[in-house]
Structures are given as structure tokens and as C-alpha cells.
Amino acid sequence: MKVQPEQTFCIYKVILMVKISAYRWFALLSLFLTALWIGVSSIFFKASEQTVAFAQRGFLAPDFELRSIDGGTIRLSDLRGKVVILNFWASWCPPCREEMPALQRVYQAYQSQGVEVIAVNATSQDTLSDVLNFVQDNGLTFSVLLDEQGGVQSTYRISGLPTTFFIDREGKIRELIIGGPLSEALLLAQAQRLSQQGEP
């Protein structure tokens, strides 16, 4: 069958319209995917500024509130604006016992510069009398908290003692070290570095 020029022109127009339609759909799809990517990225960025469900470098340290050995309570978020050295320990743990005097000396040296030492005792694996005796014998003056149910250890995914988190003034975890004992030189270096960042 012979194709007339008019038919050829019509076929060409149909093909052209299909192509234009495909281009439009492709452009719309591209815009949709771009918007979706921006939305997901925005959500991820906002989440990075918030607390994750567990402790991780670069994120806000998960908040908690625990009873201290003096009968009061301390909430981590109330210390925002200060550098926090958060140490998980037990009285039966040899490296924990060994590094405590160094933590006390660092606390005394940098307390005036807004550095707090918070020692969270694994009370579910310890006895209160042993904790109190150890604190008294070593003259510890920083805050010692009792994680009696182990909930904070679980949130922070503590896999071994001691474990130490270095938290900046914004409440973000900047470093974490599993094991010990930590040297006084290392503790001093971390305290000095973080106390100079965002100093009020």
C-alpha cells in the first residue's frame, strides 16, 4: 500500500507528540525524584542534629536521668553548655579502679572551665556498699550515678567496662573509648580540646 505524504506527516506528528509527552513525563519524574531526594536528605540532616536511639559519634548523647549516691538526681541534658566526660564503671573492674584517680585529677583541673565528670556505676552488676566505699576511699568529688536497672548501659550499648564518652558543650559525642585504664595525659588532652571548643 502506498503511503500518502499527508499520512506520512500525520505519523510524524504522532511520533513527535509521543516523544514530547515522554520528555515531559521524564522531566516530571526527574523533578519528583529530585524533590524526594531533597526531602529525604533534609530529614536525615535534621535527624543528625537530634538524638539517635543509641550512642554514636557525632550525634547527641542519649539523654538519661539517674540517681546519684548523694540521693539527688542528675539529667544529662541539664549539663548542656558543659563538657562531659561520661564514664561507665564498676567497683570490681580493675582498669576502672585504676583510672578513677586520673579522672578525679582531671576534674579538679578543669572543673572551673566547665568540664564535668559523670561516673555511671553499673549497679546492676555491683553492690551499693562497694560503690560507696570505693568513692570514699578514693576521695572522688565528681558525680557518681547509679544505673541500678542497667537501662542506661543498654541505651549506650556498653559492651565492656570501663567505657568513656567525651561529650562537647552542644551535647554531641566527640569520642568514645572502650577499655582502660585511660592515662591522665589522654584525659587531659581531651578535656583541654573540648573545653576550648565553643567556649562561652
- Per-residue pLDDT reduced to its tens digit, 174-190: 999 999 999 999 999 99
Residue 24 has a pLDDT of 60
Read off the pLDDT of each residue in 97-120 and give the average, rounded to a whole number: 98
Instruction: Pick the closest to residue 123 from 162, 90, 97, 156 (CA basis).
Output: 90
In a domain, 45, yes or no: yes
Are residue 101 and residue 188 in the same domain, yes or no? yes
Residue 23 resides in a domain? yes
Q: With respect to residue 59, please indicate whether it lies within any of the assigned structural domains.
A: no
Give a yes or no: residue 57 inside a domain: no
Provide the pLDDT confidence category of residue 39 given band limits of 50, 70 and 90: low
- Asked whether residue 38 carries a pLDDT value surpassing 60, the answer given is no
Same domain? For 132 and 77 the reply is: yes
186: which residues sit within 8 A by CB, 6+ positions away?
Answer: none
Looking at the structure, tell me whether residues 83 and 159 fall in a common domain. Answer: yes
Rounded to a whole number of angstroms, the distance between the first and last alpha carbons of the chain is 88
What local confidence, expressed as pLDDT, does residue 92 receive? 95
Q: Structurally, how many domains does the chain consist of?
A: 2
Distance CA 116, CA 180 (A): 19
d(CA 74, CA 144): 10
If asked whether residues 71 and 44 sit together in one domain, one would say: no
| Residues 80, 45 share a domain | no
Residue 42 lies in domain: 1-49
* pLDDT of residue 193 exceeding 80: yes
How large is the average pLDDT for residues 54-75?
A: 94
Q: Is 59 left (phi over 0), alpha (psi -120 to 50) or beta?
A: beta
Confidence of residue 140 (pLDDT cuts 50, 70, 90): very high
